[in-house]
């Protein structure tokens, strides 16, 4: 069916009051209300694409404004026209001569770009069969060609075609390995942590992430509790959400090294590439890697993190950078530098979207599961039409065409800020 021209773009400010129960809390985001700028694009032939970007409450209205500002660049284009030269469409959004000043390719405007492009990919994902050449033509190599050329990217994707069918079958049977962050948000009590951890163990989880960084004594107590419960073999990861200076990070994590974390996540400012390199070097003898990416602006930053050996785990995010286009570049660069990708997920909708990217990474790019797993957080999936399916701590591949980004209409209505039922009733309290 011809896709027609894009004739409508709607954006909604959807917020969930997760801070009430401290879901999602960490050392820097103590009261997150998981939220989304949720985009619906419509074509004049009646097709719809759904996209979103993730936020944590206040400020979502600014992302909504930024999406509105991008609208004129999208309206009137047809899907065929966009996908015939997706690289140029990507540049149209990210390099607009006036709007790039409020980025470029970072911050609010890039979150908005992610939401819009995620909707375009959702629309496109309904059509099947994207060959390596087509995928590479979606990537903007500007600013990364010194680390990855178009030819190298194509070569990596061509190599990824070998054994593809077997890997697809493996995924359909076993799913993609996941880890959980749901047991140990920073605001949870020890009792909650114990209960959730024993339930997760019973459900078959083998890797657990703990929030750290506010008080060292609390971190020691909580990590000890979890390590005792999960035993020496299972994986434990710690996440500081950018709380420390570089030296402080090394000292703090050294104190926690007895609990053998596989990685420390976002130990310091997400912009500090050389700082991460220093921390990586200092922690390597302790067998602890450094992970980051959920607040990494774009492919250019990832390139430098990789060039500087500043990360041992790349955490792509489906809604932070420029959608599939930019994540393709990051996945392929990570493969070239031989650094495993372990995506950031959770939030609202992040698991739904990123599962597509990590399955693609395994099937077509890295072709390996070594040191790889995808984050899972057990909140808010009921608000999606095709929620993630977890079986025995593995993501089972989605079977419905699209980016799994469509939300349940009544959920959107109820949670639209500030006039949806949920927010109106809370404001009356």
Ligand X SMILES: C[C@H](O)[C@@H](O)CC(=O)C(=O)O
Residue from 42, 96, 239, 317 touching Mg ion (CB under 5 A): that is 239
Total chain residues near Mg ion (CB under 5 A): 2
Site residues for ligand X, 55-84, by CB under 6 A, read 56
Give me the least distance between CB of 375 and Mg ion, in Å please. 8
381 part of the active site = no
Give me the least distance between CB of 43 and ligand X, in Å please. 34
The widest CA-to-CA distance across the chain, in whole angstroms, is 61
Binding-site string for ligand X from residue 320 to residue 339, where x marks contact by CB under 6 A and - marks none: --------------------
Q: Per CB under 5 A, which region of 63-71, 89-97, 127-135, 231-239 contacts Mg ion? A: 231-239
Site residues for ligand X, 229-258, by CB under 6 A, read 239, 241
CA distances from 420 to 15, 57, 275 (A): 9, 14, 43
Contact 80, 42 (CB under 8 A): no
Question: What distance, in Å, lies between the first and last C-alpha atoms of the chain?
Answer: 50
Residue from 289, 346, 349, 420 touching ligand X (CB under 6 A): that is 346
Total chain residues near ligand X (CB under 6 A): 12
Site residues for Mg ion, 256-275, by CB under 5 A, read 265
- 33 near ligand X, judged by CB under 6 A: no
211 part of the active site = yes
Q: Could you say which of 23, 344, 356, 415 is catalytic?
A: 344
- Residue 340 contacts which entry, Mg ion, ligand X, none (Cβ below 5-8 A, type-dependent): none
Residue from 320, 344, 394, 415 touching ligand X (CB under 6 A): that is 344
Q: Which residues bind Mg ion (CB under 5 A)?
A: 239, 265
Q: Which residues bind ligand X (CB under 6 A)?
A: 24, 26, 29, 32, 56, 181, 239, 241, 294, 344, 346, 375
Residues labelled as active-site residues: 211, 344
């Amino acid at each position: 069916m011809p896709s027609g021209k894009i004739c409508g773009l709607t954006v909604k400010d959807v917020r969930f009051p997760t801070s009430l129960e401290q879901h999602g809390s960490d050392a820097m985001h103590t009261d997150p209300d998981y939220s989304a700028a949720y985009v619906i694009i419509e074509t004049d032939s009646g097709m719809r694409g759904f996209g979103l970007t993730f936020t944590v409450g206040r400020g979502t209205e600014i992302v909504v404004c930024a999406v509105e500002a991008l609208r004129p660049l999208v309206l009137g284009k047809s899907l065929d026209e966009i996908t015939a030269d997706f690289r140029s469409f990507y540049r149209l959004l990210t390099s607009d001569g006036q709007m790039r000043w409020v980025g470029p390719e970072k911050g609010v405007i890039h979150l908005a770009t992610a939401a819009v492009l995620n909707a375009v990919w959702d629309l496109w994902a309904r059509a099947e069969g994207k060959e390596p050449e087509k995928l590479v033509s979606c990537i903007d190599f500007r600013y990364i060609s010194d680390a990855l050329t178009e030819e190298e990217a194509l070569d990596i994707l061509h190599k990824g075609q070998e054994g593809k069918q077997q890997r697809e079958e493996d995924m359909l049977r076993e799913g993609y390995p996941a880890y959980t962050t749901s047991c140990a948000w920073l605001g949870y009590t020890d009792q909650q942590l114990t209960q959730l951890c024993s339930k997760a163990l019973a459900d078959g989880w083998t890797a657990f992430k703990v929030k750290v960084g506010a008080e060292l004594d609390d971190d020691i107590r909580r990590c000890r509790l979890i390590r005792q419960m999960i035993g020496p073999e299972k994986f434990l990861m710690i996440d500081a959400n950018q709380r420390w200076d570089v030296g402080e990070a090394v000292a703090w994590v050294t104190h926690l090294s007895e609990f053998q974390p596989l990685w420390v996540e976002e130990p310091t400012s997400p912009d500090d590439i050389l700082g991460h390199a220093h921390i990586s070097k200092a922690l390597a003898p302790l067998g602890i890697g450094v992970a980051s990416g959920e607040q990494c602006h774009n492919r250019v930053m990832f390139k430098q993190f990789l060039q500087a050996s500043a990360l041992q785990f790349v955490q792509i995010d489906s809604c932070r950078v420029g959608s599939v286009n930019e994540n393709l570049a990051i996945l392929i660069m990570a493969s070239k530098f031989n650094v495993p990708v372990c995506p950031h997920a959770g939030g609202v909708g992040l698991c739904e979207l990123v599962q597509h990217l990590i399955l693609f990474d395994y099937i077509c790019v890295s072709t390996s599961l070594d040191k790889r797993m995808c984050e899972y957080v057990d909140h808010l999936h009921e608000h999606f039409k095709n929620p993630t399916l977890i079986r025995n701590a593995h993501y089972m591949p989605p079977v419905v065409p699209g980016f799994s980004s469509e939300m349940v209409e009544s959920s959107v209505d109820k949670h639209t800020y500030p006039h949806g039922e949920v927010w109106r009733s809370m404001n009356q309290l």
